[in-house]
Amino acid sequence: LHHIPCVLIAQECGQYSSLGQDLVAMCVNDVLCQGAAPLFFLDYFACGRLAVNVAGEFINGVAEACNIAGCSLVGGETAEMPGLYKDGDFDVAGFVVGAVERKHLLPRVSEIVAGDVVIGLPSSGLHSNGFSLVRRVMDLHGLSYNSPSPFSDKTLGEELLTPTKIYVKDVMPFIDKVRAIAHITGGGLVENIPRVLPSNVTVRLDASHWTLPPVLGWLAVAGGVGKKELLRTFNCGIGLVLIVPARYVTDVRSGIPNALVIGSVKERNGDEPQVVVKKFGELFEKPMLPHISSYVTQLSARKRVAVLISGSGTNLQALIDATAGNGSVAMGAHIVLVISNKPDVRGLKRAQKADIKTEVIKHTDYPSRLKFDEAIHECLVAHKVDIVCLAGFMRVLTGEFVRKWRGRMINIHPALLPLFKGTHAHKQALEAGVRVTGCSVHFVEEDIDNGAIIAQKAVDILQGDTEDSLSERVKLAEHEIYPQALKLLATGKIHLDENTNKIVWN
């Protein structure tokens, strides 16, 4: 029985036939690992309201895949559950029955010995695994499934929906020459191969003997995904692994298309890992190369950001989280400086924990607001700051300072501007009796809370709300939209027309 994780991608792309092959492949490749030939398959299609064209395309994909696998599609179930699924949403599952002669039942663990050879069969792509990580990287870079693929001439959706390869007809003629088969799915080579090994042996793989799919090179660079995470999340180019006695290697390689000798079985030394992958660094680096130059360009183009605070720095933390690691490339910004007008506030500790330079410039050390602002300006210039974010900075800035940073300084306010300007915004909203408030990110102007609005998010006012309870919910909205607004400015999606005081979308 199998469920597949790529339904959401198919829904967004409007392509459903590959789901059928993914579902069948996951089932029949698994029974193949028992040495069994699949006999018949049943599918399950659950939805809120049946869309005949969607279900039909999916079933056609299932039928074609069953033909590839050499098994019969004998039936299935379609369930409409409007209370559980929204219109347009659906899920699928599949079930297969296979048969195997007892003498061919796999894995034959007791027969696996040092000297056996590891043969790998190439995968066709991600094989329905690792999509949570892929979606995270896509979100980081603001990509959709309809975006052009960074590693081919297709869309990302088309690449990710490449059907899982079905190995049954290639492998079954040689099932009596195989001692074990591992289907490389979630967990990758390092977690799936040990399931078929006795405890006294280890498998040593030579990664120079196969090719890493281009998508993984892109993920490594764009998502900052390391070698260990790739190995334990993806198949890394090998969809099926066969453990074969050395005397049968020639027969198996000549009979199975694209079969590769990728390693061997060795005696295990103490508690060493049961799978050791050598030269993976070399395999890993080659598909990364096409993406590194653009990544370096994006790194150098990031805007240098300073955040001004006076307190605990929860919005600062949201900005730190959004720009951490490879997030800074997607955001087009990295925080290089945090300035507080008060010492020992928690916001400074947040910055220091993130290895961000901090400065304390106390307003009480200066004879006037202007002198204080001049000190801040000099500090910003010294650190070559491009953008200034105010995050709970409890000082009114002078007009001279604002003019110097106009179009490059943004603030967040806990209300839906132009309503409830100034302090005590939550109190104003509650006293006004409105049912909705929220937060706004805006450019800073000399008139307080009067700059062009970049982003807003509404928050319902609930019965019995107090200033404190409302404030806590609005803060959550602030933490969401402040990074979004910074990204729009830092990546050049918007700029301020200083003549009209309006935002221009580029």
Residue 193's nearest CA partner among 97, 139, 140, 263 is 263
Amino acid found at 19: L
The residue assigned the tokens 């190439």 is: 122
Whether 295 and 221 have beta carbons less than 8 Å apart is answered as yes
Dihedral of CA 151/152/153/155: which sign? negative
Q: List, in sequence order, the alpha helices (H) in 213-337.
A: 214-223, 227-233, 249-255, 280-285, 289-301, 314-323, 327-331
Q: How far is CA 149 from each of CA 138, 175, 284, 433, rounded to the nearest angstrom?
A: 11, 38, 19, 50
Helix (H, G, I), strand (E, B) or coil at 237: coil
HSE value, Cβ hemisphere, 13 Å, CA-based, for 268: 17
Q: Where are the beta strands (DSSP E) in 414-506?
A: 436-443, 453-460, 494-497, 502-505
Helix, strand, or coil (residue 362): coil
Find the catalytic residue in 127, 183, 377, 413: 413
Q: Could you tell me the end-to-end alpha-carbon distance of the chain, in angstroms, rounded to an integer? A: 49
Residue with tokens 């991600």: 126
The residues facing 261 across adjacent strands are: 119
Copy the structure tokens of residue 87.
């219109």
Catalytic-residue membership of 424: no
Can you say how many angstroms the Cα of residue 464 is from the centroid of all Cα atoms in its chain? 39
CA neighbor of 309 nearest in space, from 342, 276, 332:
342
Question: Which letter, b or e, does each residue of 191-210 get, where b requires 16 or more Cβ atoms within 10 Å of its Cβ?
Answer: bbbbebbeeebbbbbbbeeb
The answer to whether the beta carbons of residues 34 and 40 sit under 8 Å apart is no
Secondary structure (3-state) at 427? helix
Contact predicate 150/235, CB 8 Å: no
How far is C-alpha 324 from the chain's CA centre? 14
Residues forming the active site: 413
